[in-house]
Amino acid sequence: MRAAMAFPLRHPAVAGIVVGMRSAQEVRLDATAFSARVPARLWSDLRDEGLSC
pLDDT at 15: 93
Single-letter residue type at 18: V
CA 10 from centre of chain: 9
Can you say how many angstroms the Cα of residue 46 is from the centroid of all Cα atoms in its chain? 13
The span from the CA of 37 to the CA of 3, in Å, is: 9
Vertex 33, ends 30 and 37: CA angle to 5°?
155
pLDDT in tens, 1-53: 788 888 998 899 999 988 888 999 999 988 888 888 889 999 999 999 998 76
